[in-house]
Structure 1
């Protein structure tokens, strides 16, 4: 992404994901300056007051990291004088009470020690490319592969990354349902083969994002993905997608896993019960969670089922439906994943489905949220826990002719 040094920056809304306390964390990115400005060109910042702030910048031509909690903290200054129009990888790492600065994989400025918590900045937005304490110290140049992690990724010299960071390690299935004809592609980190059945097809006449979606006619159209350990959710997980019913909504399945008539999972709309997620294991409904919801005809709706610990949530259009449910189990089924029907040739979906995502190991939402405003993709900002955060102030993307690799 390109920043002009005047009024460009990214603002990521305050989140407890940035409240590392006294724990480990890493801030890293690639940067390329285009001027020799001697002032502070800010890369990362979070600001409460002059004695309570955190920032990584370029000062007098060298990287500098600064953190204070009530006036106590660390300052680390690099030793490399940065050349103009040259890419550098920079990382700040905290491991225990030790703080380190790395430039192109080499530690600079020595170990610094502080036991202070960074939670003095709780509630403050995270700025990228600008100083959150005011309008000064904007970064002029390019930033790429910006990442915030809740772990100490490096504690000694390392070889800098030679490829893009993966978009989201928790995403096990990601169907944008773009392209053409009947080719369905999984864009997750480890893609699965998706098979179209019946007349299931990519349709450009209706879509939420990306110029196309999956069309299902309600009389035999569906997608299948073979059984995988990725569908077994022993802990937190999230299933979500966008759906648009063709005309008056009828009972239909969005996503299901089917082993046999006595063992299945289903996420669906039921004209009697509303939005529903059910687990049928060994011929017994061990979980049948449903909440009142009436979708509109010919309207896109975002739907999600989430488990956090043993607590289950249903969401429609970003709003939690009713109360939570509690169930600690989850069957490890030996059956394919189905999109558009339950797996036994019933409850076919009639309409369009877009942005199907299955996430394992993460409860993406546990309270009302703003629904996505664009398709899921490789993130401009890869955040700790690899969750997606809303960018409050977007800027121009990096030009295609200016790349790290």
Structure 2
């Protein structure tokens, strides 16, 4: 299968021939394939009613980030240096026996900021073992009963690379393995005696020693095995998600909700500190290309009065006293409430809503709530958790209201709600009755509304089975919003792309497949969601695409900054100079362009790649180096624009095809221009 065929099959779910061995490091890939003039702001109802879906004046960003973006086991948790997770259980009391603690870790800070990986302790300034961290002057650092062991500051870890680390005690001897190889400490040893009788029950992930040593980076597949030294010598680095082998007590940081883990113990998390975030990013790529029916989609609401979706109908949503079920997946990105509430669903024409709240500090009035019945589930943990996917169900059966969060029933009361017959539609993202507050901020996927006696999809048991695939229509489905109608889709499953003004697909001029992305230099550009962008930190990266100019001067191709087109000279960014017309880049806040007159022609396709490799950034045009400069910037910005830079006065006039971001230096010297579309898996 050719790469061009790959592009034409985007969305088919087909498995690639050889594919991209580094696709797990791809965090954006826009093949730009579809119908002429298509954008991301057309929304569809997949029920048989096929209702017209109307966005607010700030249309929610529609895209491929969903509860099913990645296969199970192929997620991670992002730690920002101020967050960590804590499990408390007797399963961590290893005594004097064998054990293994392992995970994959991706550092984004630097040696001094990457910090703690784990520690079996919850104290501050506590050197208890086992524990592991990456630190500035000591390198990889562990605690055992023999004290601290360090590798020293020998640069054995690069930023922006997935490493597998395993801390193993076998017969009272501790060894650590990095990517399957035994670690040598700075004293020349490869092991440490450890006879500790471990009685602690608190496993901290993303933290070590104290709150000052928290991780900046990602952890995936954190596994704890009690009673077995899983590795007793050099081994091949795992190439698939870790599994529930004998004596496994925890497999965390690997699903669409980091509050849950995958071992048979099914251990509940004790607490979260700061804002740890579940991310569709891991050492492993999916088994198949993006397929809307398999991987789903979502909408990103901006927590304001203008960010909403609504449908209208004179009678479909007149629930009266009938049975009904309103459900959705929510991934809140809001860090604070709009007046203590997030009213994510409501009716139009009459004040009725389905929501969650912090109760204004009153736990008895916190959790899920609906109106007109007006009940509260009454617990803080019932609120939809930020930065994880929450499956939310409000179901009324025979007057009994049953509410579920992630499969657990949190409310079961006979309220006999009467919703009357005055509803003229439904609204999502905010309550239609409250225009000035109570907004929802975050992602929403698989919104489904069902009503009709005996047609509710779930029994009213104490628990329900959480869906493992995108929802489909069933009998009496009144509305189904899957969020899969984006035209400019990110097939890496990481982003919901916002198409501003008239940014759209163009089938007349394209490099590969059926279309490219067209920008007319008048308010047209794309944005990646700030909440989901994965910072480059100190790591390597490649930002590349095919670009075609209608006009050259002042054409920005892309920019990463601390705001969208906020008049800041900041990078990484690439485009053409407003004065010379030459290719140019920003690295950090410094501008670079070729010494010779390298001005692109109009009406010509070019391959452009901006690559950072071990502290050197290069701009390649058609495989040749145009700019080379030192770049050790710690890139922490998360506002990414495609089709412009600096401000709306420097927008692209032309087309872009096959836009890809990879957390790796794909090109390190002159190369041949790709002749096929990039693999989608």
User: What TM-score do you get using the length of structure 1 for normalisation?
Assistant: 0.47
User: What TM-score do you get using the length of structure 2 for normalisation?
Assistant: 0.29
Bigger Rg, which one:
2
Structure with the largest fraction of strand: 1
